[in-house]
Amino acid sequence: MLIDTESGRMRHMSPNEFWQSEQAKGFEVVEVSEEEAAELFRPHVIRTVRRCLIEWNSNTYFNAALEQYHGDKVIVGIDVKDGSYLTVRRIDKVDGKDEPGALICTARFAGNETRYVPYSLEQAAIETRAKGRMKRLSGKMADVEGELKASLYLEADATPVMDLPMEPVAIMEPVEPEGDLLEHNVVQLANFSTGGEDHSAHKPKSGKRVFASDEELAVFALQHPEELTDNQKELLWECLRSHVNVDLFRMSGIDVAALKDALRRVA
């Protein structure tokens, strides 16, 4: 602060006034070289020396002067735009902190181990950004393809199921190891559909009617719905909820709608 000669008030000094006042107190300018000035603004990292080599950013840098520092940690100065060299300095402890010390050497890029062209910090940042952009774009492409597939599925016309005529197939009734419970017989679905045989007579000695298949049970339900047990009704309803079983019923000549009506009447 100083007193303005014109206004007589206290005011701050201008930069030139402050510079002149410091020079009057004995301040001397210490100029630094171009290399030292550049070093002041470089990022620094700590690396370990291995056989005169320093690895950084997938590059390897070499200088024979690093031989005596094998296994030691050093501070490395990085030129952001030029990855062909690193400045290597000793580590000095200042107030308990690691600070750059005396210059050891300038390590040069050894292109025989990683890249033919040195990899600068700027180039690394550019490639990292490019990879991130490509990843985001691939995610958007996957979303677009998913939306396209979904629209194709929604717009497709449903193809009706063709009813193919099939000959009735003889189905063997399951046989228990002990012959006292079940009788060995062969039941043909055609007999059920034509009604040519009274299937109420097909009972084992235990008196419980046994069916060889779901189709056989369905035909019996159309003919004698009042004789169905609760378990048989529940089984038929489960079959009617399955598209596969419904198709099998239709291919076997069973009227699915009539079967549903019969089950509703005896429910």
Q: Are 83 and 118 in contact (CB under 8 A)?
A: yes
Tokens at 232, concatenated: 């048989």
pLDDT of residue 164: 61
User: Distance from CA of residue 26 to its chain's centroid?
Assistant: 68
Helix (H) / strand (E) element for 220: namely helix 214-223
Reported as a single tens digit per residue, the pLDDT across 85-109 is 999 999 998 888 888 888 899 999 9
Reported as a single tens digit per residue, the pLDDT across 132-164 is 888 888 888 888 877 777 655 555 555 655 666
Reported as a single tens digit per residue, the pLDDT across 32-63 is 888 778 888 889 999 999 999 999 888 899 99
State the number of CA atoms in the 13 A half-sphere of 199 facing the CB.
26
User: Distance from CA of residue 89 to its chain's centroid?
Assistant: 44
Reported as a single tens digit per residue, the pLDDT across 166-180 is 666 555 555 454 444
**What is the rounded distance in angstroms from the CA atom of residue 156 to the CA atom of residue 146?**
16
Instruction: Show me where the domains of the chain are located.
Output: 43-140, 170-265
**What is the rounded distance in angstroms from the CA atom of residue 175 to the CA atom of residue 185?**
9
Q: Is 124 exposed, middle or buried (0-12, 13-18, 19+ CB in 10 A)?
A: middle
Rounded to 10 degrees, the C-alpha dihedral 237/241/245/249 comes to 60
Query: What does the mean pLDDT of the chain come to?
Result: 78
**What is the rounded distance in angstroms from the CA atom of residue 63 to the CA atom of residue 52?**
6
**What is the rounded distance in angstroms from the CA atom of residue 78 to the CA atom of residue 76?**
6
C-beta atoms surrounding 166 within 10 Å = 10
Q: Which residues pair with 100 in a beta bridge?
A: 91
